Amino acid sequence: MTETIFDREQARELRRIAEEKAARRRPAVEDLSPEEVRRLLHELQVHQIELEMQNEELRRTQLELESSREMYFDLYDLAPVGYCTISEKGLILEANMTAASLLGAARGSLITEPFSRYIFPGDQDIYYNHRKTLFKTRSPQVCELRLLDAEKNPKWSRLEAAVAQTKDGNPVCRMVISDIDAHKQAEEKQQNLEDQLHHAQKMESVGRLAGGVAHDFNNMLMIIIGYADLLLADKHPNDPEQDPLKQILSAAVRARNLTKQLLSFARKQVMTLKPMDLNEVIRGFRQMMNRMVGEDVAVDFALEETPLWVKADVSLIEQILMNMAVNAKDAMPRGGRLLFETMTVELDEPGICSNCLEVTPGRYALLKISDTGLGMDPETAQNCFEPFFTTKAMGKGTGLGLSTVYGIVKQHLGDVKVLSQPGTGTTFMIYLPIGAQAPVPLPSPEKARDDVPGKSTIMVIEDEAAVRRLACKILRRKGYNVIESEDGESALSFACAYNKPIHLVLSDVIMPGLKGPEIMNGIIKYHPEAKALFMSGYSEEHISSENNQKYNHPFISKPFSGSQLLAEVAKILSVIQ
Ligand SMILES: Nc1ncnc2c1ncn2[C@@H]1O[C@H](COP(=O)(O)OP(=O)(O)OP(=O)(O)O)[C@@H](O)[C@H]1O
Ligand SMILES: [Mg+2]
């Protein structure tokens, strides 16, 4: 800081001028009387004291000024927001330290640079319009855009600007820059979570709808397939009605496959869960895969060396592999590479779990399926798991492949995600919970007895009259003795009073009143010899595959044909456990 208001040079100059002026003054001191000299001396002393006091006052004011100047710079430079003055042409005239750090540059290097140089290229238009409106309207303007930091990374900022005038009358923009990056990121995260929730709710409701429709459809298809089958069995091979009947059957079977896919999406597929090595299932599919994708596509495998035991339905896992392979083939019309990778992952770190995966933490088998195909744009990637979503031409795709995959994976308590960009290919990641043990080989059946329809009694329990009548008809035609029952209560009271053996109970699972497994539990109290065969259009919570495993009763999925039913019945009746 300076010592006084004048430096030494100035003081010497002032002294010289003062002496000159004193020399020119009249009367000179030697002309004065002693009394006048004494008075003059006194005056001079008083003046000197006054001057010293004024000087002291000046010195103090000077110090105060210095300290408030320092405070001003502290406040200005180290303010929590950036301050910038920008000319009408967009050049930086002045900036505080915070602005320099937000713009990722040294303060000195900013001056006379265009402010637009520090803006993310995608947001230049926002800034251009902001500045244009500001100088045109002369009213304060606010905008949000991304500035580039020192590493050239975009960071969200808010610019608040007003017009001021310089001393020479030119308009300038005084701008406040606030860092809102963390706030924006939190907002984006929140938005992502909301989108995810919305998507999950949408999938859930579409699933419920699809499941409901598919269930009712199955009962109707059951009647179409069953009766067409019965009629066909009666026809002579040369009968002209054979062909139309076959057409009806094949259309109904196609419709059955469609409802099967819908049920998979709705996670209501009847599953037979068994411990299986995921790697083994993939290896078993190798040849089929090669044939399916054609010669232009190289299929590679990078499977974890140790077995990946998951509890799953093999046929459903195979269906996933097939749907994925077909999609990959379609995405690589000019050939490419399809890679199947497996590995074990631990999903307990918040980073992974919060990364959109809807699974409980734990160990998972990760199956990665990557292709080098056309890839997907963000909208397709967002919607690809929805039923009936397809980008393929009319008649080329129904849009059920990935929704089936989604439903199967979810029903296995896993999750599936997609990573894709147009032109760079696609990777699907399927997570399935690990936890199953290697299976213990089952003992072979002790002894077999011939299934003799004429001697076997089957109780059929089904609330849907048309389905019940059809099943009874198929069984009676084969020669079985059939007992018909429309619900659990009547079946139980009949079984209690019936004193001959009941060899098999063919029961629906979901019915008003008692459910299939509960009825079966009641019947075996009176007829321990009775075996069970459940028929169901879909699995529900209370007859989940887990329950089914607990009861360990065989299942037949509706809709089934007469021959399927008879084959299943014969299989059970011919084996005495
Ligand atoms: N491997 C992939 N590469 C690029 N896009 C894909 C891939 N897999 C799926 N898609 C996109 O997702 C959409 C939905 O796939 P999905 O398998 O559900 O139906 P689809 O293949 O169109 O018809 P479907 O499988 O019922 O015959 C496809 O139409 C396609 O746009
Ligand atoms: Mg498909």
pLDDT over 50 at 465, yes or no: yes
Least confident of 161-175, 436-450, 516-530: 436-450
What is the structure's pLDDT at 423? 92
Could you give the CA distance from residue 487 to residue 465 in angstroms, rounded to a whole number?
11
CA of 135 to the centre of ligand 2 (A): 56
Q: At a CB cut-off of 8 Å and minimum separation 6, what does 163 contact?
A: 134, 135, 138, 171, 172, 173, 174
Q: What is the pLDDT of residues 504-528, one digit of tens each?
A: 999 998 888 888 889 999 999 999 9
Nearest CA to ligand 1 atom 29: 390
Structure-derived torsion over alpha carbons of residues 21, 27, 28, 30, reported in degrees to the nearest 10: -170
Q: Identify whether the C-beta of residue 53 lies closer than 8 Å to the C-beta of residue 68.
A: no
What is the structure's pLDDT at 294? 85
Please choose from 334, 337, 402 the residue to mutate so as to test ligand 1's pocket, defined by most ligand atoms within 8 A of CB.
402
Which parts of 180-307 are beta strand (E)? Answer: 274-277, 297-302
What is the structure's pLDDT at 436? 61
CA of 403 to the centre of ligand 1 (A): 9
What is the structure's pLDDT at 22? 79
What is the structure's pLDDT at 444? 47
Structure tokens given for 91: 């050049």
Who lines ligand 1 at CB under 6 A? 323, 327-328, 331, 371, 373-376, 380, 384, 389-392, 397-403, 426
What is the structure's pLDDT at 368? 97
CA of 199 to the centre of ligand 2 (A): 20
Least confident of 318-327, 391-400, 491-500: 391-400
Q: What is the pLDDT of residues 519-573, one digit of tens each?
A: 999 999 999 999 999 988 765 433 444 444 445 678 888 888 888 899 999 989 8
Residue that wins the pLDDT comparison between 10 and 110 = 110
The closest ligand to the CA of 381 turns out to be: 1
Question: Any bridge partners for residue 158, and if so which?
Answer: 144, 178
- Summary mean pLDDT of the chain: 86
Could you give the CA distance from residue 538 to residue 535 in angstroms, rounded to a whole number?
9
Question: Any bridge partners for residue 335, and if so which?
Answer: none
Nearest CA to ligand 1 atom 7: 327
What is the structure's pLDDT at 11? 82
What is the structure's pLDDT at 315? 84
CA of 331 to the centre of ligand 1 (A): 8
Residue 413's SS3 state is coil
pLDDT over 50 at 483, yes or no: yes
Please choose from 390, 418, 428, 429 the residue to mutate so as to test ligand 1's pocket, defined by most ligand atoms within 8 A of CB.
390
What is the pLDDT confidence band of residue 438, given thresholds at 50, 70 and 90?
low
Could you give the CA distance from residue 442 to residue 463 in angstroms, rounded to a whole number?
35
State the DSSP H helix or E strand holding residue 110, giving kind and residue range, or none if neither.
helix 107-110
Q: What is the pLDDT of residues 240-274, one digit of tens each?
A: 988 899 999 888 988 887 888 777 777 777 777 88
The closest ligand to the CA of 399 turns out to be: 1
Q: What is the mean pLDDT of residues 189-212?
A: 82
What is the structure's pLDDT at 544? 45
Q: What is the pLDDT of residues 124-160, one digit of tens each?
A: 999 999 999 999 999 999 999 999 998 999 999 999 9
Q: Which atom of ligand 1 is closest in space to residue 390's alpha carbon?
A: 29
Q: Which atom of ligand 1 is closest in space to residue 261's alpha carbon?
A: 26
CA of 487 to the centre of ligand 2 (A): 41
The conformational region for residue 26 under phi > 0 = left, psi -120 to 50 = alpha, else beta, is: beta
Nearest CA to ligand 1 atom 8: 327
CA of 322 to the centre of ligand 1 (A): 12
What is the structure's pLDDT at 541? 37
CA of 333 to the centre of ligand 1 (A): 13
Q: What is the pLDDT of residues 386-434, one digit of tens each?
A: 888 999 988 788 888 999 999 899 989 999 999 999 999 999 999 999 9
